[in-house]
Structure 1
Amino acid sequence: MQQPVYPDRAALDEALHRLAQLPPLVTSWEILALRQLLGEAAEGRRFLLQGGDCAETFDDCTSPLISNRLKVMLQMSLVLVHGLQLPVVRVGRFAGQYAKPRSADTETRDGVTLPSYRGDLVNGPAFDAKTRVPDPLRLVRGHAHSAMTMNFVRALIDGGFADLHHPEYWDLAWVEHSPLQQDYRRMVESIGDSLRFMETLAGRPVSDFQRVDFFTSHEALLLHYEEALTRQVPRQWGWFNLSTHYPWIGMRTAAIDGAHTEYFRGIRNPIAVKVGPSVTPDQLLRLIDVLDPANEPGRLTLIHRMGVAKIEAVLPPLLSAVRSAGRKVLWCCDPMHGNTESLDNGYKTRRFENIRGELDRAFDIHAAVGTRLGGVHLELTGENVTECLGGARSLAEADLARAYKSTVDPRLNYEQALEMAMLIVRKRGAVAPGVPA
């Protein structure tokens, strides 16, 4: 499902051969380290923050956009660490999120029908015949842009950009007058004081707390690309997808007998599956049996995305079934995708109150069932976009035209993302006493 049709098979084979010779983007030991951290998150000892663009573009592979995206994730994680009193697993939806599923293979405008835009890994967004033809050379370009993104992120982190002693490095200039900035500043000062106090007691720098780990994820949608970067490595058994640390299966391709499920069951990466409102408890348990037959901690994350109007009806039976089966999964909430709507003015958007509403209900439902919500999955950006309604500045429909930049789905901007992190802290603190150890 969701695979493009390449008109030139020889060109595709040549591109895949080239991809298979290129260096990997991540390492097996990073993958296994993340898997251990996710296992701890499933046990309630960590919290997963997964976020980034709905769909990256090659043009967005620039230092300001990448660093701003990283800044938002670091600031959100700082809020979560401070408020939840838990380590946070930071996973970016980037360095590979170049392919997107579509509801139809073709798109028609003014009587002209062309292949749908499936992300920069496949074709281009411009509505002309040449751009919309799936181009296998884009697979190699996708690898190059992912490598450049990863290289820059690693350089920033290794160079001290993510040093907890200097969170002022993470500021975004355009939000210096945000109504949320004062709350964030107080958290930064509190954490800085705590670090300095610990160092005074220890008589030396607390190096283990200075920097953070950061991992990548993307929807492993285009199987040609993923297979070319799936390899065996020395001194490890099995196969690793070395295009990303943490691939996931989207809702459209999660069929039990589908090609994506068949591929995912054979790799050792920690993996995730998007779970929508149409999934039944029996279907979910059968899928878990295929993807995680040994019930291994950290292996499988279930990302539910139900929509605020449906979550209370459809989520509890799924949680109860998985809990009764004794399955060691990490539950994560994606409150974005189930709350997308199209307005009369032609814009696709999401309302902050609906995103917050689904996340609030998710925490309550997990607490009531006796399971644990261990993470959140958000589409966000560090740019001054106006794509989701509401939030700290109460964006209205008239604001969408001002800075709507997404090529696919609407994203939270910086202020909305930071506000969401603060709301998670308040909500999880309220329901945590009812969550079993």
Structure 2
Amino acid sequence: MDPPLFPPSHNGSSEWSPSSWKNVVAKQMPIYDDQEELEKAVKTLDRVAPLVFAGEVRSLHEKLARVAEGQGIVLMGGDCAESFKEFHVNHIRDTFRVILQMALVMTYGSSMPVVKIGRIAGQFAKPRSDPNEVVGGVSLPSYRGDIVNGEEFTSEARRNDPQRMVEAYYQSAQTLNILRAFSTGGYADISRLHAWNLDFVEGTEEGSRYRLLASKVDESLRFMKAIGVDTSKPEFTSVDFYTSHECLLLHYEQALTRQDSITGKWYDCSAHMLWVGERTRNLDGAHLEFTRGLCNPLGVKVSDKCSPEQLIQIIDKMNPHNIPGKLSIIVRMGAEKLRKHLPGMISAVQRERKTVVWISDPVHGNTRKTKSGYKTRDFDKIREELNAFFDVHDQMGSHPGGVHVEMTGEDVTECTGGVSDVTEDTLKHRYNTTCDPRLNGSQALELAFIIAERMRLRTGLPPL
């Protein structure tokens, strides 16, 4: 039986609409000084075409349901925060092909399908610890991502401008057009897997490992052709690629929420999947109120601040009918805290018979500032948290469902360590992020090999 059109809320009310979030407290939302300007931007977005469609969303939901049952693994990756000024087809292409490389490594290593989801085509808004930033005694609103205001420290740039939501929509539409062309137009053809290597990855140790793996896959493809398998079919020449972002700016999300003409259910058509962040997952808050009525697959980020009891309450609100694939728990807390707190979370979920997808976010809990003022992440710490995630799932008999990383296809120097050998001294060479530090292509590929080896270990397969 299908769940009701309007699932009951945490407080027992069945009254839900795309705007019912306005009746409760909304954290991390920008304050606009011109309400007429805000209403005008929202009305514009009310009339635009959806960025994604209900059938695509249902396709992702089906794949995530299989992951929840232990029959797949999720790869979520992309920019910390997309930028208007850095928008370029080459940037999108390079990030896409690193994700293809990572997915190939993980598929080969795990012998499982990899669900590919980009943090892209909508990842513009960012939460902030403080509403204001002070520089030289001057206080201005904090930069909340290009969808809200500008990065430059001026009164004009830091003004919260609702028209930026419209600009973000049109950039997201262009990004999706490019991604759809790459994923179905031949670029993702598995016969091109050698061409997916980025120039700067080519000469690294991980680039060499990838070339060796690609040669093995090539050999397998030649064997399949020899026995009569048609490798020109879509299964070999295209990929299913989905988009996701943090559900943060609710005016934008509400305006892009549509009622499906076939099922009558509500979908947020800004992305295939949305997640609620650590700072906005309060049970009585606007973000859980908004997402509880959506039929999109959802995620929620949790740290050690979330107790097992609170996690069960969050699950009950976001997925009250316990639908497989509906909800992913994205864990971010650092290796030591993860080993201490994740077993209790998993135990509670098992005890209450909840069905979720467990995903590791090994980057967010490992952010630090250097003496020179750069925010960075140490690759060794990221690897430690990822290994801890697998260790705990091995201990609990549960399925490690995937990984969520901030990464880019660019040759940046933002995270220290890994085969690219970025140090604190070399961070300044190509530190391009507008927000948090990202793994570069070689570091991301190195992470994929770690996941592949852990999955092989779980299934008793020999090392790659």
Matched, 1:241 2:268: yes
Please tell me whether the aligned partners of residues 198 and 206 of structure 1 are also in contact (alpha carbons under 8 angstroms).
Answer: no
Task: Identify which of 159, 165, 178 aligns with 2:191.
Answer: 165
Which residue does the alignment assign to 2:388? 361
CA distance in 2, matches of 1:405, 1:213: 29
Any residues of structure 2 matched to 1:261-276 within 5 Å, and which? 261-276=288-303
Which position in structure 2 is the counterpart of 1:4?
30
SS in 1 for 2:205: coil
Contact 1:239–1:268 (CA<8 Å) still a contact in 2? Answer: yes
| Helix, strand or coil at the partner of 2:33 | coil
Give the secondary-structure state (helix, strand or coil) at the position aligned to 2:153.
coil
Q: Contact 2:197 / 2:207 at 8 angstroms: preserved in 1?
A: no
Deviation per CA, 1:370-420: give whole Å up to 9, x if none.
211110000100111111110003221101011111111111101100000
Corresponding position of 1:118: 144
- Which residue does 1:418 correspond to in 2? 445
Correspondence for 1:141: 167
Does residue 188 (structure 1) correspond to residue 214 (structure 2)? The answer is: yes
Are 2:184 and 2:237, in contact at CA under 8 Å, matched by a contact in 1? no
TM-score, normalised on structure 1? 0.97
1:175 CA displacement? 2.5
TM-score w.r.t. the length of structure 2 is 0.92
How far apart, CA to CA, are the structure 1 residues paired with 2:230 and 2:458? 37
Tell me the residue number matched to 1:79: 105
Q: Which moved more, 1:286-295 or 1:305-314?
A: 305-314
CA change 1:329–1:433 in 2 (3 A) is farther
Match of residue 349 from structure 1:
376
Q: Are the equivalent residues in 1 in contact too, given 2:190–2:237 (CA < 8 A)? A: yes
Secondary structure at 1:6's aligned position in 2? coil
Secondary structure of 1:376's counterpart equals strand
Q: How does 1:164-313 map to 2 (within 5 A)?
A: 164-202=190-228, 204-205=230-231, 207=233, 208-313=235-340
Distance 2:296 2:427 in 1: 38
What amino acid does structure 2 have at the position aligned with 1:361?
A
Q: Deviations over 1:319-366 (max 9, x none)?
A: 110111111100000000001011111011110000000000110001
> What residue number does 2:355 align with?
328
Whether contact under 8 Å (2:366, 2:378) holds in the other structure is: yes
- Secondary structure at the counterpart of residue 85 of structure 2: helix
Displacement of 1:202 in angstroms is 2.4
How many angstroms does 1:225 deviate by? Answer: 0.2
Q: Is the 8 A contact 1:195 1:206 kept in 2?
A: no
Corresponding residue for 1:395? 422
SS in 2 for 1:56: coil
Deviates more, 1:92-101 or 1:385-394: 385-394
**Cross-structure match for 2:23:** none
Contact 1:106/1:113 (CA < 8 Å) preserved in 2?
A: yes
Aligned-residue Cα RMSD (Å) equals 1.2
Q: 1:280 is matched by which residue type in structure 2?
A: S
Q: Which runs of 5+ in 2 are unaligned?
A: 1-26
Could you say what secondary structure the match of 1:51 adopts? strand
CA distance in 2, matches of 1:389, 1:432: 31
Aligned to 1:64: 90
**Distance (Å, rounded) in 1 between the aligned partners of 2:252 and 2:48:** 12
Judged with a 3 Å threshold, the aligned counterparts in structure 2 of structure 1 residues 10 and 45 are, in CA distance, closer, same or farther, namely same
User: Which amino acid in the other structure matches residue 252 of structure 1?
Assistant: R
Note the alpha carbon deviations across 1:135-172, whole angstroms, 9 max, x for none. 01100000000001000111122210001111133221
CA distance in 2, matches of 1:128, 1:76: 40
Contact 1:161 1:169 (C-alpha < 8 Å) held by counterparts? no
Separation in 1 of the partners of 2:231 and 2:396?
A: 43
Is the CA contact (8 Å cut-off) linking 2:362 and 2:383 kept in structure 1? Answer: yes
Cα distance in structure 2, aligned partners of 1:403 and 1:171: 20
1: distance between equivalents of 2:197 and 2:138? 46
Task: Find runs of 4+ consecutive structure 1 residues off by over 4 angstroms.
Answer: none
CA distance in structure 1 between the partners assigned to 2:226 and 2:232 by the alignment = 9
**Residue 206 (structure 1) shift:** 5.1
SS at the partner of 1:60? Answer: coil
CA deviation after TM superposition for structure 1 residue 425, in Å: 1.1
Q: Using the aligned pairs only, state the percent identity.
A: 45
Counterpart residue number, 1:127: 153
Question: Which residue of 1 is the match for residue 62 of structure 2?
Answer: 36
Q: CA deviation at 1:209?
A: 2.6
- 1:49 lines up with 2:75 in the alignment: yes
Whether contact under 8 Å (2:109, 2:455) holds in the other structure is: no
Q: Are residues 1:109 and 2:135 paired?
A: yes
Structure 1 residue 291: Cα displacement: 0.8
SS of the counterpart of 2:341? helix
What CA distance in whole angstroms lies between the structure 2 residues aligned with 1:97 and 1:179? 31
Q: Does the 8 Å CA contact 2:184/2:239 hold for their aligned counterparts?
A: no
Q: Take 1:156 and 1:167, find their aligned partners in 2: how far apart are those partners?
A: 13
- Asked whether the 8 Å contact 1:199–1:206 carries over to 2, the reply is no
Partner of 1:410, secondary structure, is coil
| More displaced stretch, 207-216 vs 109-118 | 207-216
The unaligned stretches of length 5 or more in structure 1 are: none
Shift of 1:44: 1.4
How many angstroms does 1:433 deviate by? 5.6
Q: Whole-Å Cα distance in 2 between the matches of residues 285 and 271 of structure 1?
A: 15
- Counterpart of 2:385 in structure 1: which amino acid? E
- Aligned partner of 2:456 in structure 1 is 429
Structure-2 separation of matches of 1:252 and 1:428: 31
Between the aligned partners of 1:59 and 1:157, the Cα distance in structure 2 is: 24
In the alignment, the residues of structure 2 paired with residue 158 and residue 361 of structure 1 have an alpha-carbon distance, to the nearest angstrom, of 36
Give distance in 1, aligned partners of 2:53 and 2:260: 9
For residues 166 and 114 of structure 2, the distance between their equivalents in structure 1, rounded to whole angstroms, comes to: 33
SS state of the match for residue 180, structure 1? Answer: helix
Distance 1:105 1:266 in 2: 29
